[in-house]
């Protein structure tokens, strides 16, 4: 993890601009400070605040090819957590025109769009959606556990299966 930094992006946070702060605080910089500015003020804010820009046109941590800013951050910081890489697919699908990449993306995009309408500002939108990203991350972990232990899980009854899955979830950090 890096030391506390300022990060800047465009205002009106949607999928990627909510997912990236979650990712940064969770895996890179727990004390990160985020600034949301008009698109044309990103570059000026970077210079003035010595901030790291993300999800803005022409920045290193932005959309490249089929990837979104979330992907760029995962790559730059060498994050290899398999569940996080699964979550990256969902974020990428929700934030781009590649919806078929992850069926969950439709729901995530709907939540992000609705959140923009009920949150007073970008900070509140992120605050409200942290739970969503924590839940999606746990869902990705659970999906990987189910795949890994498929044969063992099939032999268990419903109660045993739930206990088994909860135990495995506790073995990996959230």
Q: Model confidence over 76-109: pLDDT tens digits?
A: 999 999 999 999 999 999 999 888 899 999 999 9
Using alpha carbons only, what angle is made at residue 120 by residues 28 and 49, rounded to the nearest 5 degrees?
45
Long-range contacts, 26-29 (Cβ 8 Å, 24+): 26/133, 26/137, 27/1, 27/77, 27/79, 27/81, 27/84, 28/1, 28/2, 28/73, 28/77, 28/79, 29/1, 29/2, 29/3, 29/4, 29/5
What confidence tier does 3 reach under pLDDT thresholds 50, 70, 90? Answer: low
Are the beta carbons of 149 and 143 closer than 8 angstroms? no
Whether the predicted model's global pTM rises above the 0.75 cut: yes
Query: Do residues 141 and 83 make contact, with C-beta atoms less than 8 angstroms apart?
Result: yes
The 10s digit of each residue's pLDDT in 8-66 is 999 999 999 999 999 999 999 999 999 999 999 999 999 999 999 999 999 999 999 99
């Amino acid at each position: 993890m890096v030391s506390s930094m300022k990060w800047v992006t465009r205002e009106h946070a949607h999928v990627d601009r909510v997912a990236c702060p979650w990712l940064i605080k969770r895996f890179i910089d727990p004390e990160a400070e985020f600034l949301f500015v008009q698109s044309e003020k990103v570059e000026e804010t970077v210079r003035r605040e010595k901030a790291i820009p993300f999800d803005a046109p022409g920045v290193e941590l932005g959309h490249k090819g089929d990837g979104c800013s979330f992907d760029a951050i995962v790559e730059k910081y060498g994050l290899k957590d398999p569940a996080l890489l699964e979550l990256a697919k969902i974020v990428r699908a929700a934030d781009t025109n590649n919806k078929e990449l992850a069926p969950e993306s439709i729901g995530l995009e709907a939540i992000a769009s609705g959140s923009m309408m009920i949150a007073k500002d970008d900070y509140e939108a992120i605050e409200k959606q942290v739970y969503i990203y924590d839940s999606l991350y746990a869902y990705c972990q659970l999906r990987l556990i189910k795949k890994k232990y498929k044969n063992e899980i099939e032999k268990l009854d419903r109660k045993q299966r739930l206990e088994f899955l909860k135990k495995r979830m506790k073995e990996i950090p959230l």
